[in-house]
A and B are shown apart, each in its own frame.
Chain A
């Protein structure tokens, strides 16, 4: 007989400027050099998209009335009091790296069993527009992205422990010689004296450095290996150590969004929107390079 309404596959949206779709959870696996066609070397970070699936979709109304938005101390992408971005009508949760259900509580496993998935080690929530919604249970791969596009990466920075003013805030320190007494790396002056007669709150002082969640914005994807699901992202300073998990999504920077990248030739949007579905994965090549990057299979660079 015909499918019940609740089991029917969801409609797949079409891209238009201003669309938002979920990203991926990727593991940082290392840094490797690539070369541009003009001979310049560029270091890139390899991000391995491992076993991603869409776990849940929530409408914005439901989310606003839920625990996280009202009481939970978690970052909300839609603004304080949920006032921003009316076009973001929902949140898609993506999970990565399936694990043994025995390691988790029944409640946690229940999040995944609703869409027929094994429990995932990591979860991330992405705000989306109407056309960016993906049905829970859909696998997500590196083919969601397009070589040459810009992405934002969100993750936890490396821990550096308790550090002094020079490393934490970039203070200049004091001279090594010329009579400086026991004050070479100290923070020095911390207040004016008479007027306020106290140290102002927020005074920069030594403290804990690293282990914070940060965004790195506008990184370019230089190469995608579709067979292994690996993204080659420009820059060697992507936060975290080898093996750390990161969120990767389309960039929010205005100048680097698809519709504004005329020079890079990205104005017609991502190739697969909202994601590359399983039947589309078969037509993909093994890997794809960005325009400016030298392909190792091509000839040596003997002219620019």
Chain B
């Protein structure tokens, strides 16, 4: 089960070493570092600091990094795909967001009852993935007491607008356990106004721990309590049978035991990440355009604010 294929939960383990990121505008961040270096008069520092800040783009724009599988990698194709992504970003703002943020997506829907053929969905982002033009994210909300999820592709030209209503992170990289939690934890009001963070603040981490509903569950949440810290279980092993099942699953050589060894598997981490040197090349290629676009959008936003 775990050989080769990367299950979503094991993917979270790989990303658990990520740092929290900043809600800076990326241009401001780059400028700040440049200013500091100008005051210090040390040019070497500026390049290294700029590189370090660009290294953080792997959290803001994770879809620009290619799939690390060497069988599918090709420099020409990746370069062409990144060019298409930048062209699309010129037409629509694809904001920085993380799993746990509240988003509102307006998309073209030919079956929509509205005359403008648009549909707007608001929800909490429970997962994001995909590389390149296939980058996707899933929004979850509750509508009239029914949990609803929508998957959107970020570079799909029918997606007209992506707004971040609340920018925050959670304790985990995936929130699929919200499907087995009370609906109030997945509810986002449709008329919610965007909450703007003060300039230069870090992205807040919401340390909410979600209590799950009693069984039955969609997944065996009692098994992943070490990997995911955003949910709590009341009485995970209610019967002796459940305890024995858990012990069997955790016995040496079985799936649970393998899951515990994942965090020590450096080669697995190496295989599933793009080397830092290649990442630096990618950011060198795209970061200028991304920063310019970010600056342009900030200018537009401030103009609107004055109106």
Contacts and interface: CB of A to CB of B under 8 A. Distances in A.
Contact of B74 (A29, A39, A301): A29
Contacts of A300: 91-92, 108, 157-160
Contact of B158 (A39, A46, A243): A39
Nearest to B81: A32
Contact of A296 (B84, B118, B159): B84
Contacts of A302: 108, 116-118, 160
A16 interface: no
Q: Which of A30, A32, A46, A297 has the most chain B CB atoms closer than 10 A to its own CB? A: A30
A59 interface: no
Contact of A241 (B71, B80, B110, B159): B71
A267 interface: no
B76 A228 contact: yes
Contacts of B157: 35, 39, 294, 296, 300-301
Interface string A269-286: 000000000000000000
B242 to A, nearest CB: 27
A46 B108 CA distance: 28
A299 B76 CA distance: 26
Interface in A1-47: 29-30, 32-33, 35, 39, 41, 46
A30 B88 CA distance: 20
A242 interface: yes
A194 interface: no
B77 interface: yes
A48 interface: yes
A301 B77 contact: no
B156 interface: yes
Given A41-B156, A302-B160, A32 B108 contact: no
Contacts, number: 71
Interface string B139-180: 000000000000001001111100000000000000000000
B185 to A, nearest CB: 32
A223 to B, nearest CB: 10
B117 A33 contact: no
A38 to B, nearest CB: 8
B252 to A, nearest CB: 30
Contacts of A225: 80
B72 interface: yes
Nearest to B118: A302
A304 interface: yes
Contacts of A30: 72, 74, 77
Nearest to B75: A29
Interface in A216-230: 225, 228, 230
A48 B91 CA distance: 28
A230 B133 CA distance: 17
Interface string B36-49: 00000000000000
A29 B108 CA distance: 32
A254 to B, nearest CB: 33
Interface string B110-132: 10000011100000000000001
A33 B80 CA distance: 12
Contacts of A32: 77, 80-81, 84, 132-133
Contacts of A299: 91
Contacts of B72: 30, 242
A178 interface: no
B110 A39 contact: yes
A43 to B, nearest CB: 9
A189 interface: no
B87 interface: yes
Nearest to B83: A296
A11 to B, nearest CB: 35
A33 B91 contact: no
B87 A39 contact: no
A225 B79 CA distance: 12
B94 to A, nearest CB: 12
A39 B112 CA distance: 14
A303 interface: yes
A33 B91 CA distance: 18
Given A29-B74, A39-B158, A228 B80 contact: yes
A304 B158 CA distance: 10
A35 B155 CA distance: 10
B87 A48 contact: no
A209 to B, nearest CB: 19
4 closest A-B pairs by beta carbon, nearest first, are: A30-B77, A296-B87, A29-B74, A29-B77
Interface of A: 29-30, 32-33, 35, 39, 41, 46, 48, 225, 228, 230, 241-243, 294, 296-304
17 contacts: A29-B77, A32-B77, A32-B81, A33-B133, A39-B108, A39-B157, A41-B153, A48-B76, A296-B87, A299-B91, A300-B91, A300-B158, A300-B160, A301-B108, A302-B160, A303-B108, A304-B110
Given A32-B80, A35-B157, A300-B158, 8 more contacts: A35-B158, A230-B80, A242-B71, A242-B73, A296-B84, A300-B157, A300-B160, A302-B118
